[in-house]
Amino acid sequence: MQNSEKREKAYKLLAVQMGMSNSKAKELIDRGVVYVGNRKVVIARGELPVETKFRVLKLGKPIVIFENEEVLALNKPAFLTSDEAAGSFKNARLLHRLDRETSGVLLLAKNKSFQKRAEEAFKARAVYKVYTCWVKGVVCEPETIEKPIKTIKKNGVAYSKVDKRGKESVTHIEPIMIIGGRTKLRVVIETGRTHQIRVHLKSIGHPIIGDNQYGVASAQTNRMLLHALELKLLGYDFQAVEPKGFDVFAGG
C-alpha cells in the first residue's frame, strides 16, 4: 500500500503534527478550530490521509466592555465557552451563557445582591437581548417566530428542536442586509431557550451560516455567524461590536 493511501484518526495526526497530546488534539477539534484547507475538521476520530496538513485557529481573549462594583460585561470571542471566558475574572459569576461559537455580550455579577436581581430579571423576561446573524436565503420582511422548543441533553451535549411538547419560545427577526442569496438579520429574543435562534431560523428554512449542527457550513467563514450585539437589564445597556470579518459576505 502506498503512503498516500494510509489513513489515521484525525486527532492522532494532529497530535503528531503539532507536537501535542492526543487529548489536547481531540479537544481542539471538538472546539471547532482545526481546519484542513477551508474545511473544518468536525469528527476527531474520523480517518484522514496521513499526509494531511492541518491549520489551527488562534483563540481570542474576552474584552472587557464595562466594569463597576456590581457587574462585569465582556465581549466574548467565538470558540471560547462562556465558562472559559469568565475563568480569568475571579470573584465574578456568570449570569447567562452563549454558545461556544457565538461571540458578543456576556455578563458576570460581582456581588450577590446584583446577581440575585439580575437572575430575577432574566426569569421575569425583563431583559432585552439583540443578536445579529447571517442566514442562508433571502428574508425580505420582519417576522415573529413563535414555536415551542424542546431540548434534549445526552452525554453533555444539548440538542434542541421545535416540538409541540416544548417550552414557549419567541424570536423576532428583521433583515438588515441581503447579498448573494444570504441575509443579515437583527434578532430579538423574548425567551432564552437553548439554541433558540439557531433552531427557530432552521425551522423557517433560513439556517445560520457556519452552524454545523443546525445550519450550513461555508468555506467563506470559519465560525457560526451569530453575535450577541446588545443586552439591557436593570438600567444598564451593554453593546459588543461585531468581530472583524463578521460581514464577510459584504466584504467588510
Please identify every residue annotated as catalytic: 99
Gap between the Cα atoms of 57 and 75, Å rounded: 19
Long-range CB contact pairs, 88-95, < 8 A, 24+: 88/61, 88/62, 95/119, 95/122
Question: How far, in Å, are 23, 87, 96, 111, 177 from residue 90 at the CA level?
Answer: 27, 7, 16, 12, 40
- Beta-carbon contacts of 135 under 8 Å, excluding residues fewer than 6 positions away, are 182, 183, 184, 185, 201, 206, 207, 208, 209, 215
- Sign for the pseudo-dihedral over CA of 252, 194, 120, 188: positive
- Sign for the pseudo-dihedral over CA of 124, 80, 131, 64: positive
DSSP state of 5: G
Which one-letter amino acid corresponds to residue 72?
Answer: L
- Beta-carbon contacts of 122 under 8 Å, excluding residues fewer than 6 positions away, are 95, 96, 192, 233
Gap between the Cα atoms of 36 and 55, Å rounded: 6
Gap between the Cα atoms of 238 and 65, Å rounded: 8
